Amino acid sequence: MTHSYRTSSRAPRILLSGVFGPYGVDDEFGRAKNIMELFHNQVTKGQGLASFRLHHRSFGLYFIAANLDADVTVLDFPSRKRFEKEVQKGYDIIGISFITPNYKKAKEMARVCREFAPDAEIVLGGHGAAIEGVESLIDCDHVVKGEGIRWFREHLGQYVDAPIIHPTLPASDWQTIYGVPVPGKTNNLLVPGVGCVNGCNFCATSHYFGKRYTPFLRTGKEIFDTCCRIADERGTDNFFVMDENFLKDKERALALIEEMERHQRYFKFYLFSSAETIANMGIDNLVRLGVIFIWIGFETKSKKGNYEKNIANDGPALVQQLRDIGVSVLASGILCLEEHTPSNIQEDIDFMIELNADLVQFMLYTPLPVTALYTRLKGKGLIREDLPFEDWHGQQVLNWRHPAFPGDSAEQWLNRAFKMEYDANFSSVYRMIETAFRGYKTLSASQNGNPHLHARMQQMKARTQEYRPMLEVLKANASPAEQLKADTLQKEITDLLGPLPLSAKLLAVGARIAAACWAMRVQLKGDMKQPGTIYTRYEQGDARVMPLSTHDSTSVSSHATAVVTIRDAGDVAAFTRL
């Protein structure tokens, strides 16, 4: 079929959509265990009311939209009915992004497209596109396996190697702890590039991008200039860096430090990194860079099962070093590795607990399509092809036959690990307050007039002050042992920084009321929070700078497009022309 947009001068009309909700429920399309929240699903899930709650957008769709010369609509978190209504608007191309557990949702969305938009091309993308034979399992015209901007540009006959324009996006749209909204703007999103050269055998991201790194921002200056623009537009200097191993390019990171110090503008970064890369970068450079959070894949203590990135590193010592300078650490571990048995798996659980990181992720060893692990286990006939893709989310059952963990035993070990870690080290919000205060104390004693260390010290002080009111909420909801720890920390902070100002005391009272309301809501209705639909238009010829959604109140570029944010499930709809 020759599509009309190819034979006319008009701009192609493109719809890019994430999968439909509701999310995290047991129905014909999904599972309750597959929650649409990264932290509550696999990091702080065992911490009850203290769990970190936030939603992340389908970031890749916005990057594609911002880098095409076309009329593009991004539909994020739609309801099934909302998606069906949207596809009837005459789009030339409809792109569907999904992960493996959302396979049935993507298949249903493709069916809806064929029924209500028979002339549209259907393009599948996201990690779900790596499913073997997906082009024959889901009715579609194209499957994009890998980086999507280049593919769409080539498909539309546009300049493939044009510079990548980084859209302005929040890293999350809703962020609470104990039901209390985290004050201030949510972090900005920064994506310097995609992929990772480490190629860990289980890592879907590394293999999906061919075990290569594709930079979007090639130099430290490009990153600095991008950060300045985004920070000015959104009103915050905090950045969540969506890059598998940002510090791997040490030269680029050092150049970014030079730019920040030259211009005396210091950002704060939340990063993913590996232990070997951190060691190569050096702790002093992390301080200069403004790193305040690092997600590290420690995976396992076992020498047999460990990965090259961790072999020469002392995990507990590294975590202590980082926390002492105010860097919160999220440590990631894997359960039910091939060498694990009921008699030795506890050793790895204990290892993750003894790291004493701010947050700990536990995941089941899950071979996903495209990974080396999947290929090897499939060759041995161990992949559970009888298990629906909806159950391939790594938080309940194994999708491969492990002789030592039949039935529901894997989930039992997973739940045990989360509970033991929480009981031993208390809530992550307590640990993060402690880390910020530790950083302030360390830098207060060692800055010696150094301007960037002084700036870092002030950041840690402000961070401690920002978090202090949450100690009152924590003490009202914690176990007696954690209450005692929190009370001791609170007294130490007061001794050094003085009593809470009146405004902060009032904020603490309000936070306790909000926490009590959330606790009641959870008891009556459960803790599921469905994200509202986000609808964004990009018009042909715009500057391709992503405007802010209506729940952001800062100014935007004069080149911004029309943005409509719609909240489904009973929320109020808001329509705004920016």
Q: Determine the Cα–Cα distance for residues 96 and 122; give it in Å rounded to an integer.
A: 8
Q: Report the C-alpha dihedral over residues 511, 513, 514, 520, rounded to 10 degrees.
A: 140
Tell the residue number behind the tokens 């997973």, with chain if given: 414
Residues in the chain: 578
Q: Higher confidence at residue 343 or residue 574? A: 343
Using DSSP, state whether 387 is helix, strand or coil.
coil
**Pairs from 444-448 (Cβ < 8 Å, separation ≥ 24):** none
Question: What pLDDT was estimated at residue 303?
Answer: 66
Query: What is the overall mean pLDDT for the chain?
Result: 90
For the segment 274-296, the average pLDDT, to the nearest whole number, is: 94
Q: Which residue, chain included where needed, has tokens 């950083």?
A: 439
**Range in 218-222, 410-414, 446-450 with the lowest mean pLDDT:** 446-450
> Region 482-510: what's the mean pLDDT?
95
Asked if residue 392 has pLDDT above 70, the reply is yes
Q: Is 512 exposed, middle or buried (0-12, 13-18, 19+ CB in 10 A)?
A: buried
Q: Among 324-333, 513-522, 554-563, which is the least confidently predicted range? A: 554-563
- 8 Å CB contact between 317 and 278: no
pLDDT tens digit sequence for 518-566: 999 999 999 989 999 999 999 886 544 333 343 332 222 323 333 444 4
Q: Is the pLDDT of residue 412 over 70?
A: yes
Please report which helix (H) or strand (E) contains residue 295, including its range. Answer: strand 291-299
Of 255, 290, 298, residue with least CA distance to 273: 298
* Angle, helices 451-467/469-477, rounded to nearest 10 degrees: 40
Amino acid in position 166: H
What is the per-residue pLDDT for 541? 66
What is the average per-residue pLDDT within 111-139? 97
pLDDT of residue 272: 94
Q: Give the Cβ contact number of residue 460 at 10 Å.
A: 23
The answer to whether the beta carbons of residues 270 and 170 sit under 8 Å apart is no
566: CB partners within 8 A, 6+ apart: 82, 532, 533, 534, 535, 573, 574
> Distances in Å between the alpha carbon of 47 and those of 350, 415, 568?
18, 11, 28
The pTM of the full predicted model, rounded to 2 decimals, is: 0.90
The answer to whether 334 touches 345, Cβ cutoff 8 Å, is no
pLDDT at 151 over 70: yes
- Residue 578 CB partners (closer than 8 Å, separation 6+): 547, 548, 556, 560, 561, 562, 563
As a whole number, mean pLDDT of residues 315-332 equals 96
CA Rg value for the chain: 24
Six token digits for residue 260: 């920040």
222 token code pair: 């490009």
Lowest-confidence region among 56-65, 235-244, 297-306: 297-306
CATH dotted code for 180-426: 3.80.30.20
Confidence of residue 116 (pLDDT cuts 50, 70, 90): very high
79, 161, 217 from 99: Cα distances, Å: 17, 27, 26
**pLDDT confidence bin for 182, thresholds 50/70/90:** confident
Q: Considering only 6-10, 297-301, 564-568, which range has the smallest mean pLDDT?
A: 564-568
pLDDT given at position 156:
95
pLDDT over 90 at 74, yes or no: yes
Pairing relationship of beta strands 563-565 and 574-576 according to DSSP bridges = antiparallel
Give the percent of the chain with pLDDT over 90. Answer: 80
pLDDT reading at 571 higher than 80: no
